[in-house]
A and B are shown apart, each in its own frame.
Chain A
Amino acid sequence: MPFMIGRGAVGRTLKHLQQGQIILNKNIKILMLAFNLDDEATGRRFPHHNGLYNFVFWHLPQLQYKNPDVQMITLNKLTPTPWIKAYFGDDTKLLIDCDSRTREDIHEHVKKVLGIPEFSVTSKEEGIEQKPNPANFGSKFARQCICEVPGQVPCPGWQPLPLEMTGKGRKKLQEQAEG
């Protein structure tokens, strides 16, 4: 992975993305997050926006990873207070005021208010690992080789192949048939 420098590098790892806890309500189509960054030019500082900024920095990639069909937009220098707005499919809007709130608070609240309700959760959403295909075989699976399966040809290392399955055997049989 390039750019494995700085605190942002953690947020670009697959492990971090998979640890996202928030799965959004299926009716939510758009999520808008607006906050201001400290302005170096004018020297203006916005400490009450830090909570939402940190939430976006650490949790937005996780959120998008778990909800790829939701459009997520971040906006800058729009309003004096930070906010999150969720737009539902039936034109309902939900505005969350994040003034002077910490990252953890915002995370908990978003999970509660915008998260999928328990009765809608299916095993896929829960993130339950899909059972691996029992037909698979290989170094990472229960059966190491196809020869372990009853009814399959055993590996020649365990038991020699019948004559007609080997190259030299076939050649021999061919010779016998000709001769």
Chain B
Amino acid sequence: MAALRLMCSSLLSLNFLTKAETAIGGRRWRKRRWAPIAASKLFVVRERTPIDPEEYEELKVRYAHYRTAVRSIREYFKQELLAQTSALTDKSHMEQEEKHLAQCLSENERWNRESAKFRQAREVIFEKEKQDLELKQLIEIEEQQEELHEKLRLQVLKTKDESKRFVSPENLENMIEVALNQRSIYNFAIDPEGNRFIEQADGSTVVQKSGNEDEDGVHRNPEAETLESRTALTKE
């Protein structure tokens, strides 16, 4: 705002522009619309700009030549542009274009058919691979199921087997007797194969070979009490 005002005032101070001619950006000069013209300026009539007649005539001729030239160039450009645009909308041109388009469409159809063949070939391979994968996965699942079943079966058998050695209210007294009478030997030497060497009271050594242990780690010594002999006690 301030810059505009400064500009106006500076232009005015150059003394060749009126206040109206310096109005920039749509702002009327300092005086308002309804403000009256000052008394000193009321009947001011500017003097005519001096025109040198010789210069005027000379310029008139020169301007005429110049304007003719410019007009002719403009007309020429217009005609050229018109020729270009009319060539595009010319009937023969349109026919050519339509023909070309039809050719392009047919060529494209041919290309698309080829592409379709490639796609079908690819999809066949893809489907086969997919089926193979599915089959493989099914087989894997089946195998896993089988493993699980086997594991559970063995578990059940083991439990059944173990249940034979459970202590019941009838067995209780006998099992206590057996437990009290049985002694575990921990005072043995062991070799890398796992064979245990137990020194007897008379100085001899008894060898318990490895691999003769049951699930509890108790050695099944043929001289010691067997499972049958243990259960035989219960029958008594």
Contacts and interface: CB of A to CB of B under 8 A. Distances in A.
A100 B105 contact: no
A100 B122 contact: yes
A81 B93 CA distance: 36
A97 B107 contact: no
Contacts of A88: 101
Contacts of B116: 97, 99
Interface string A50-78: 00000000000000000000000000000
Given A117-B96, A119-B93, A109 B111 contact: yes
B99 to A, nearest CB: 9
Nearest to A92: B101
Contacts of B108: 94-96, 109, 113
Nearest to A48: B122
B104 A99 contact: no
Q: Provide the main secondary structure of the chain A interface.
A: mixed
Given A48-B122, A113-B107, A117-B96, A99 B115 contact: yes
Interface residues of B, number: 17
Contact of B104 (A94, A95, A100, A119): A94
Given A112-B104, A113-B107, A114-B104, A98 B96 contact: no
Interface in A21-72: 26-27, 48
Contacts of B143: none
Contact of B118 (A100, A109, A114): A100
A98 B115 contact: yes
A101 interface: yes
A120 interface: yes
B101 A99 contact: no
A51 to B, nearest CB: 10
A78 B104 CA distance: 26
Given A112-B107, A117-B96, A95 B119 contact: no
Closest 9 CB pairs of A and B: A100-B118, A97-B115, A99-B119, A97-B112, A117-B100, A113-B104, A99-B115, A113-B108, A119-B96
9 contacts: A27-B101, A94-B104, A97-B115, A98-B115, A101-B118, A112-B104, A112-B107, A113-B111, A117-B100
Given A98-B115, A101-B118, 5 more contacts: A97-B112, A97-B115, A109-B111, A119-B96, A120-B97
